[in-house]
Amino acid sequence: MLKRFVMALCAVALMAGAAQARTIHFASDATWPPMEMLDAEKNVVGFCPEVVRAMAKAGGFEADIKSTAWDGIFAGLAAGKYDVIASSVSITEERKRAMDFSDPYFEVKQGVVVRAGSDIKSFADLSGKTVGAQIGTSGYFTAKKAEGATPKSYDEVGLAIEDLFNGRLDAVICDDAVAADFALTNPNYSGKLALAFLIVPEKPEYLGFAVKKGNREVIEILNASLKAVRESGEYDRIFKKWFPTN
Amino acid sequence: MSHRKHVTIDIGDGAAIPRKRDIGLFSAWWLAFIGAIAIIVYLCSVSPEPYLRILKFIPDGVLVTFEVTVLSILLSLVLGLITGLGRLSKNRAFNLIASTYVEVVRGIPLLVQLFYIYYALGRLEIFSNLPPLAAAVIAMGICYGAYMGEVFRAGIEAIDKGQTEAARSLGFDSRQTMFLVILPQAWRTILPPVGNEFIALLKDSSLVSILAVADLLRRGREFASESFYYFEAYTMVALVYLVITLVLSKAVSHMEARLHYYDRD
């Protein structure tokens, strides 16, 4: 009786396995609106998750997106806790040494958020000011490059924005879309914070999906499905939904 | 310290009891201390990239960790003494306030207290200019003050009632009795657990990195997040914390040994 039961279980498991498409696990630091964030039901939503879900549909795989703290997100990838980081990761030379990237899916600039009425108008104005950013992001690397400024690293960009709002920081640097979201559309901050200016990089900065070094298989799936999503016009539809002003 | 070596037996009123010598603890301490230093030196000499670079990156973080720890300890000692006396006070209001403080603070995790004092209260006008270091010290001082209060209370309660009675019959008032007779004696009982609290506080000071305070842990994290040397950075951070706490625990046990010199064990 037991034997038959176990065999039946095995058969069910096998069939389920065969029927199920391959699942790719994505990690996302969902504290980065409107790129990726949590909605009221704790689902990961935003521009990037929506692109990923469209890619899954086009590429025939299951996308499992888990909210993961930024600090340690790269260590988790190296440890094999998930296959892909889909979390507004800029493609940089330093990061390319530690991980592989998909084709770019977004172009970013760094945006500088200040309190409304601030006299910070240019990158040079940051001298002598305290500038916050999220630890390990291109925003923080930019803050460290500002001459004469005191950079401060936060666990989350939201905490830096809160400190800016409370008057302990003079500016926060983060991706332009995120900066615009906090300064212009966030009901808690709009009118009190302002997007001072964008920092134009020497060469364009792109976001990509990061995978463990050498994981060609997943890279190929990602690139093929991203291409399909772009060609079908789905990408543009999602872009317009999340960035209606552009 | 050298005089201590000669005294192996104390002769008092009772039977002669050989003095306890903490050989086990002594050697465990040296094993950990020399081991940690040796590993740091070994790692830095064998692969200076990245270990030596990490070691050079974190010293200002060590200073901030010290700063937070020392200031928090001072604040928590003051709060602890007041709370301990309050818990023993016959003054009902004082007693109730002290007891409520202990109950409330012990029921809220330190990390939550840090968030609350810095980010939540930061919304209020008067707290909005509170620098992160001050917020960290206030939160840690308040938190550990509650624990210190219990240590002080237990230490004071451990002093024989006869001491109070004797002091009062000699004409000391209750305040003189407490500060001139009871507390100097209680200090011996209090010191070992206070030493433990110091070490726990130093380790917990790593939590203040959440307030963007550039302490030892945050320096390590910044290094790791930019270089992706996670294993190497956190190994070095752990070793440096270990060395600091070992030095602190040695200092505390040194003070204990001095205080107990005249004691019979």
Best of B228, B231, B237 to disrupt the A interface (most A CBs within 10 Å) is B228
Given an 8 Å threshold on Cβ–Cβ distance, is B222 in contact with A75? no
Q: Which residues of A touch B210 (CB under 8 A)?
A: 155
Q: Which residues of B touch A150 (CB under 8 A)?
A: none
Q: Is residue A16 part of a domain?
A: no
Interface of B with A in 188-227 (CB under 8 A): 210, 212, 214, 218, 221-222, 224-227
Inter-residue contact A126 to A120 (CB < 8 Å): yes
Q: Is residue B206 part of a domain?
A: yes
The residues, ordered by sequence, that sit 6+ positions from A205 with a Cβ below 8 Å of its Cβ are: A90, A91, A107, A108, A109, A110, A138
**Structural domain for B43, as ranges:** 28-261
Give the span between the Cα atoms of B69 and B198, in whole angstroms. 8
Q: Is residue B13 part of a domain?
A: no
Give the span between the Cα atoms of A6 and A20, in whole angstroms. 21
pLDDT at position A200 is 86
Question: Can you give chain A as a three-state secondary structure string?
Answer: CHHHHHHHHHHHHHHHHHHCCCEEEEEECCEECCCEEECCCCCEECHHHHHHHHHHHHHCCEEEEEECCCCCHHHHHHCCCCCEEEEEEECCHHHHHHEEECCCCEEECEEEEEECCCCCCCHHHHCCCEEEEECCCHHHHHHHHCCCCEEEEECCHHHHHHHHHCCCCCEEEEEHHHHHHHHHHCCCCECCEEEEEEECCCCCEEEEEEEECCCHHHHHHHHHHHHHHHHCCHHHHHHHHHCCCC
Q: What is the least distance, in Å, from the CA of B178 to any CA of chain A?
A: 44
Give the span between the Cα atoms of B198 and B68, in whole angstroms. 12
List chain B pLDDT tens, one digit each, 265 residues: 445 555 555 555 555 555 656 565 567 889 999 999 999 999 999 999 899 999 999 999 999 999 999 999 999 999 999 999 999 999 999 999 999 999 999 999 999 999 999 999 988 988 888 899 999 999 999 999 999 999 999 999 999 989 999 999 999 998 899 999 999 899 888 988 999 999 999 999 999 999 999 999 999 999 998 888 989 999 999 999 999 999 988 888 888 887 765 554 4
Report the CATH number that the domain containing residue A186 is assigned in CATH. Answer: 3.40.190.10
Report the CATH number that the domain containing residue B84 is assigned in CATH. Answer: 1.10.3720.10
Same domain, A116 and A176: yes
Asked whether the predicted pLDDT for residue A39 surpasses 80, the reply is yes
Same domain, A103 and A212: yes
Same domain, A134 and A86: no
Treating both helix axes as pointing N-terminal to C-terminal, what angle do B23-46 and B48-57 enclose, rounded to 10 degrees? Answer: 120
Chain B contact for A163, CB < 8 A?
yes
Same domain, A191 and A212: no
Q: Is residue B214 part of a domain?
A: yes
Q: Is residue A95 part of a domain?
A: yes
Q: Record the pTM.
A: 0.81
Same domain, A194 and A170: yes
Chain B contact for A69, CB < 8 A?
no
**Structural domain for A147, as ranges:** 110-199
Q: Which of A94, A97, A162 sits opposite B119 (nearest CB)?
A: A162
Chain B contact for A72, CB < 8 A?
yes
Q: How far is CA B214 from each of CA A58, A136, B71, B129, B169, rounded to the nearest angstrom?
A: 45, 14, 16, 18, 55
Same domain, A60 and A31: yes
pLDDT at position A18 is 47
The residues, ordered by sequence, that sit 6+ positions from B240 with a Cβ below 8 Å of its Cβ are: B40, B55, B58, B62, B216
Given an 8 Å threshold on Cβ–Cβ distance, is B226 in contact with A141? yes
ipTM above 0.90, yes or no: no
Task: Give residue-wise pLDDT tens across range A48-101.
Answer: 999 999 999 999 999 999 999 998 899 999 999 999 999 999 999 989 999 999
Half-sphere exposure of A92 (CA within 13 A, CB side): 18
Taking CA atoms, what residue in B is nearest to A160?
B212
pLDDT at position B1 is 44
Q: Which of B132, B225, B227 sits opposite A135 (nearest CB)?
A: B225
Same domain, A102 and A214: yes
Q: What is the least distance, in Å, from the CA of A228 to any CA of chain B?
A: 32
The residues, ordered by sequence, that sit 6+ positions from B260 with a Cβ below 8 Å of its Cβ are: B188
Q: Is residue A8 part of a domain?
A: no
Percent of chain A with pLDDT over 70: 91
Chain A contact for B35, CB < 8 A?
no
Same domain, A130 and A96: no
Q: Facing residues of A36 across strands?
A: A32
Q: Which of B214, B222, B228 sits opposite A74 (nearest CB)?
A: B228
Counted domains in chain A: 2
Q: What is the least distance, in Å, from the CA of A155 to any CA of chain B?
A: 7
Relative to beta strand B17-18, strand B9-10 is antiparallel
Inter-residue contact A133 to A139 (CB < 8 Å): yes
Same domain, A138 and A192: yes
Q: Is residue A217 part of a domain?
A: yes
Same domain, A182 and A216: no
Q: Is residue A14 part of a domain?
A: no
Chain A contact for B132, CB < 8 A?
yes
Best of B209, B219, B226, B229 to disrupt the A interface (most A CBs within 10 Å) is B226
What would the two tokens of residue B238 be? Answer: 């752990």
Q: Is residue A191 part of a domain?
A: yes
Q: CA torsion A193→A195→A201→A206, rounded to 10°?
A: 90
Q: Is residue B77 part of a domain?
A: yes
Inter-residue contact B32 to B247 (CB < 8 Å): no
Least Cα distance to A238 among A88, A46, A66, A87 occurs for A46
Q: Is residue B247 part of a domain?
A: yes
pLDDT at position B20 is 59
Among the ranges given (A113-117, A131-135, B184-188), the one the predictor scored with the smallest mean pLDDT: B184-188
Same domain, A71 and A32: yes
Same domain, A97 and A44: yes
Q: Is residue B4 part of a domain?
A: no
Q: Is residue A48 part of a domain?
A: yes
Confidence band (pLDDT; 50, 70, 90) for A135? very high
Counted domains in chain B: 1
pLDDT at position B128 is 85
Q: Is residue B12 part of a domain?
A: no
Taking CA atoms, what residue in A is nearest to B224?
A136
